[in-house]
Structure 1
């Protein structure tokens, strides 16, 4: 009798355990739970992808800055800047033989006359 009770209790416990396990699995396979699980997986994958994209962008930016520095050194763009003023520019003198200031006299190649006021003198 004791043996029968033991095996009956073991069978009932196994049946309850199996039924609970099957019911949990069936609940996981409902369309709502499948949608929630898929959404969670997509969010996790998106987070991992975003992290990798940010890491990639930072790596590209670092390499770009390093390469720009190399090119700047090679082209001399990173040389120290001299803050002194540049020397004054020299102006070329151009003679305009049609100017009223230009007068050719007898025996002279050219003489210049000055007028007290000429608005177009500087132009």
Structure 2
């Protein structure tokens, strides 16, 4: 029974090792290397696209903030101009 166990374990290890060697040999061929490079390029393209989307979202957020600041500034200027006009009118009416 022990011999059968070790024999089976040896066959399983041999099959696993043979598959690993074949896979490594396939990756070393020009086709295998092209697949690896292609996969890496797809991954890189995805990362660059994601980065670009994040940058665009950040730009839009910052633009919204700046537009809010400009709108508040315009409101303050209008209030100040109205206040100045009221003061001038009061002085002229004296």
Which TM-score bucket, shorter chain as reference?
Answer: 0.5 to 0.7
Distance 1:15 1:49 in 2: 42
Structure 2 unaligned segments of length 5 or more: list them.
79-94
**Is it true that 1:39 corresponds to 2:41 in the alignment?**
no
**Residue in 2 aligned with 1:14?**
13
Shift of residue 27 of structure 1?
A: 0.9
Aligned equivalent of 2:74: 75
Q: TM-score, normalised by structure 2?
A: 0.60
Q: Displacement, 1:9?
A: 5.4
Is the radius of gyration larger for structure 1 or structure 2?
A: 1
Once residues 72 and 2 of structure 2 are traced to their aligned partners in structure 1, the CA distance between those partners, rounded to angstroms, is 91
Q: In proportion to residue count, which structure has more helix?
A: 2
**TM-score, with length taken from structure 1:** 0.48
Tell me by how many angstroms 1:50 deviates: 0.8
1:119 alignment partner in structure 2: none
Structure 1: 5+ residue runs without aligned partners?
A: 80-123
Aligned residue-pair number:
77
Cα deviation, residue 70, structure 1? 0.8
Cα RMSD (Å): 2.7
